Structure 1
Amino acid sequence: MKINTFFAVPAVVLASQFVNAQSTEQKLNPIVQNFVNETNNHSQLEDMAFELLDGIGPRLVGTPEMLKSNEWTVNKLKSWGIEANLQQFGTWKGWQRGTTHVDMVHPRVKSLSATQLAWSPSTKKAVEAEVIILPKVSTKAEFDQWLPSSKGKIVLMAQYQKIGRSDEQIKEFATPELYEKLKAEKEQASKDFRDYVKNIGYDNNTLPEALEKADAAGIAISNWTGIMGANRIFGAKTSKIPMFDIDVEDYGMLYRMAEKGSKPRIKVDAQSKILPEAKTFNTVGMIKGTGKPNEYVILSAHLDSWDGAQGATDNGTGVLTMLETMRILKKYYPNPKRTIVVGLWGSEEQGLNGSRGFVADNPEIIKGTQAVFNQDNGTGRVVNIAGQGFVKSYDYIGKWLNAVPKNVRDHIKTDFPGMPGGGGSDHASFVAAGVPGFSLSSLNWGYFGYTWHTTKDTYDKIVFDEVKNNVILTATLAYMASEDPEFTSRERRTMPENDKGEVAKWPELKEPRRDSKDFK
């Protein structure tokens, strides 16, 4: 869903009204009312966001910044009187980002908007080289014959985008006929590029390796999201030469120059440090239960991020929600019936490794888990909760939601029993183990196109009134799940057949990746 800039401020005002205006028809439980009052009047969300996102920054697994964020979260929890520690689940390749400067020096001078990819080797000193494009060939034999000519060159490896405008903008201003024409051309260009890579016998992993082996000076891509100014930043596929991303506008200019024979040259100064293998941790905090201490309510969010930006909405907002929830629970519900756990997971971005590690390493907690509440898709207010395939999930989720303030609850659609999550976020690690794990799914505020893993996932994209909404929801659900006299049923639904008549399977319980060996 896209939010028109003109309506951005009214949307925030409305969200604030939703959070602050209490329905006169609903008398809240006094403890829930305390949650509401504390969230609205004494929030620490913005201060914590500054410390985490501006102070520490992105939190790529294996980096010193990830360790700093682990230590920061432990200290924050302890400052509220909550027991907290780091639980190691593995190691990962160590790396630290430095500065990236990429400048075109011929045929004219221009500073380019570029970012080195995660774990990219450093240039050590600046590298200046001619920029070339992939050859117009149709077979692997022809491509392999061309490969030696990439020696000493910086190769543009990504698809060229003829138009760098978003689909929504084209649709708004073009005639219907022009829109359909441009859409068809774009789809054909994408297909042609996919076919090209397939025909030359390589893929996104093996092509950089081949260029590196041929002694190319560097590799540039442009992983454009389709929204102006937003590129996704993932990991480098090289071990000796720099690999970096260039914004779609600058990438297109270089591509056209190389294609037309202008022989552009760029100077790349990409500083980074390859560090020793780094320990990887989850942050785990607990408020011990007084009635059923061996049963657990788990608040879940992943602390790690990609590092093209600050990781604000993926998943800084989820971390902030769970930290603020724990602070408020400790203040107004210090003696819960069940033990309340917060898990801030590492290495989610590489395959849910932190939460899978927690499931594997804490069998007694998993055995006694009442429910898991996970939040991981942006700054928006929660609008959907599904039953994750548990037959009787409606019985308890519906009951718990009844205690949530009406102006928070009314935005939420539910789906029971729903289908089990297969691996998109950390609740899936628990669902695979047969534990009722629920995704608190948010209104996306442009999340998937604009901020998810992109260079635009920054502090300014957070709408704090929406996050407050989610704190109130999460605190109430945790309170109700803790107080519920009954232990939740783990009975699974009968899985449906797909279009081929095959019965769907419950997600497989998977072991975490404990190190970065062979990771691509």
Structure 2
Amino acid sequence: MKLLFLIVLMYMFDQHKGNRLSNNPRPFEDIKREISDYSEVAKKIINLAVYGKAQNRSYERLALFVDTIGPRLSGSKSLELAIQYMYKALKNDGLENVHLEQVKIPHWERGEESAVMVEPRNHSLAILGLGGSVATPPEGITAEVLVVTSFDELHQRAQEAQGKIVVYNQRYVNYGETVLYRGRGALEAAKVGAKAALIKSITPFSINSPHTGIQSYAVGVPKIPAACISLEDAELIARMSSWGSKVVVTLKMGAKTYPDADSFNTVAEIVGSKYPEQVVLVSGHLDSWDVGQGAMDDGGGAFISWEALSLIKDLGLRPKRTLRLVLWTGEEQGGIGAEQYYKLHKMNISNFDVVMESDEGTFMPSGLAFTGSDEARGIMKEIMKLLKPINITQLFGNGEGTDISYWMKAGVPGASLNDDITKYFWFHHSQGDTMTVQNPMEMNLCAAVWTVVSYVVADMEEKLPV
């Protein structure tokens, strides 16, 4: 009986060797040797992606997709067409378990919109209404503007804001800090009795190009129309106001919010050969704003994630764990599709090895951003050495992403692509987000990084330690 028990125990241990080991972990030198053994496979992936038959494939696939479908706003017909397009494309690519997982996402449409300065002279302003904004009355809102440079200044001048259109002419510090004006601009203006809010676009550079994005309201605070205007127009109005001129603007917005729409996260896999229940997830989001083509945000990230599975399939590789591609929906509204995916799959959270998301462009890559334990970071540093042939070996901190944040908060290691985002926010959420900003060679390199990392993590004998 004792012998039978020992046999069963040994069998169970063998079946779970792919789990994270909390007791008696392997010496790190052994892990380093295991990773170094992937050097030839890594070279094959790099050669195929950067120099071989798959060269420029992710770029060409992306161009066909965005030129055919165009922008893909949450709840729109074009997003529905995009999801069906990708479902067929992934099937035709020969990937496994291609399927759609239903979710509910917001449905907002901007409608017709305009803004015109009527005093001290006539001038049409370049605007883009913000996601979720309410409409103006059909005749529009005509009011004097109050220019402020910060929330503090707004509240200090609260008495002046009554019945006016607040124009935010804030200084751009960085996206993470400055985007608060887009997100809370209407809310804070409404608190002091303003009729509408116009926010200087959240970008360091402009050619009279407004940028859209999501904004929020709060219970108990009146909802007022909100739009972004270009840097040039915000600064023009600010200069006029500083000279003592009375600036009056007529704002018209026909925005509508509809009931939440049916949509889908799009999923495809290469099923693992030894631990198929365990998952390495690569991802990008399929939705975009309704301007430009959504080529950069986040077409590039979605398509290098697809490319990772294609390259592995083309090389006849099958990792020990399942490599799962998820193309999220409703990311621009706050990761709505990803949140529902997490709720659906979190009961299997112990099977998720690492979650990866590319959503800050696919420009010249410099490495990988990663969040995980010190032991996991050590392993990822070794994996990045496999990319020495293309000199992209750095491992950074903060591997964050809107769609993978739910898993990361629960303790799953997370990674994101680190690339040159110098010009990313020039085009972000604007008409300028088109294929023109994409570079095929840079996408090839991004795909190589994404594929080498995801494959090696999926194929190692043990999961990343937490």
How many angstroms does 1:318 deviate by?
0.9
Query: How far does residue 321 in structure 1 lie from its aligned partner after superposition?
Result: 0.8
Distance between the aligned counterparts of 1:259 and 1:414, measured in 2?
47
Alignment correspondent of 1:440: 417
Instruction: Please say which of residues 98-107 and 109-118 is displaced more in the overlay.
Output: 98-107
1:88 correspondence with 2:102? yes
| 1:233 counterpart letter in structure 2 | T
- Which of residues 463, 485, 488 in structure 1 aligns to 2:463? 488
1:29, 1:384 → 2: CA distance? 15
Structure 2 segments unaligned to the other structure (5+ residues)? 1-38
**8 Å Cα contact 1:309/1:455 also seen in 2:** yes
* RMSD of Structure 2 on Structure 1 (CA): 4.0
- The answer for the alignment partner of 1:172 in structure 2 is none
User: What is the match of residue 305 of structure 2?
Assistant: 322
Shift of 1:398: 4.7
How far off is 1:278 after superposition? 1.9
User: How far apart in 2 are the matches of 1:372 and 1:308?
Assistant: 29
- The answer to whether the 8 A contact 2:206-2:230 is kept is no
Which of 321-330 and 250-259 deviates more? 250-259
| Contact 2:366/2:418, CA 8 A, preserved across alignment | yes
Which blocks of at least 5 consecutive residues in structure 1 are unaligned? 1-25, 168-189, 198-202, 492-520
The residue type equivalent to 1:221 in the other structure is I
CA contact (8 A) 1:88 1:280 kept: yes
- Taking a change above 3 Å as real, the CA distance of residues 290 and 307 of structure 1, as seen in their structure-2 partners, is same
Paired letter, 1:88: Q
Report the alpha carbon displacement of residue 322 of structure 1 after superposing the two structures with TM.
0.7
Counterpart of 2:145 in structure 1 is 132
Give the 3 Å change call, closer, same or farther, for CA 27–293 of structure 1 in structure 2.
closer
CA deviation profile, 1:153-197 (whole Å, cap 9, x unmatched): 6x1331377xxxx99xxxxxxxxxxxxxxxxxxxxxx9xxx9xx9
The amino acid of 2:417's aligned partner reads L
TM-score (norm 1): 0.67
Distance (whole Å) between structure 2 residues aligned to residue 69 and residue 62 of structure 1: 12
The alpha-carbon deviation at position 271 of structure 1 amounts to 3.8
Q: TM-score, normalised by structure 2?
A: 0.73
> Shift of the alpha carbon at 1:142?
7.7
Q: Which amino acid in structure 1 is aligned with residue 393 of structure 2?
A: I
Question: Superposition pairs for residues 328-367 of structure 1, below 5 Å?
Answer: 328-333=311-316, 335-363=318-346, 365-367=348-350
* 1:517 corresponds to: none
Structure 1 residue 287 corresponds to structure 2 residue 270:
yes
Distance 1:207 1:368, change over 3 A: closer
CA distance in 1, matches of 2:67, 2:380: 36
Counterparts of 1:250 and 1:475 in 2: how far apart (Å)? 44
What secondary structure, in the 3-state scheme, does the structure 2 residue paired with 1:376 have? coil
**For residue 499 of structure 1, what is the aligned residue in structure 2?**
none
Query: Equivalent residue for 2:123?
Result: 110
Please give the alpha-carbon distance, in whole angstroms, between the structure 1 residues aligned to 2:98 and 2:132.
30
1:55 to 1:123, Cα distance in 2 relative to 1, 3 A: farther
Q: Give, in whole Å, the separation in 2 of the partners of 1:227 and 1:235.
A: 20
Given the alignment of the two structures, is residue 119 of structure 1 paired with residue 96 of structure 2, yes or no?
Answer: no
| Contact 1:133–1:259 (8 Å) recurs in 2 | no
Corresponding position of 1:234:
213
After superposition, the Cα gap between the structure-2 partners of 1:79 and 1:270, relative to the gap in structure 1 and judged at 3 Å, is farther
Q: Does 1:97 find its partner at 2:101?
A: no
Q: How does 1:194-343 map to 2 (within 5 A)?
A: 204-210=185-191, 216=195, 218-229=196-207, 231-236=210-215, 242-257=225-240, 263-307=246-290, 309-333=292-316, 335-343=318-326
1:341 to partner: Cα distance: 0.4
Among residues 364, 370, 389, which one is paired with 1:407 in the alignment?
389
Q: Measure how far apart 1:117 and its partner are.
A: 1.5
Other structure's SS at 2:110 match: strand
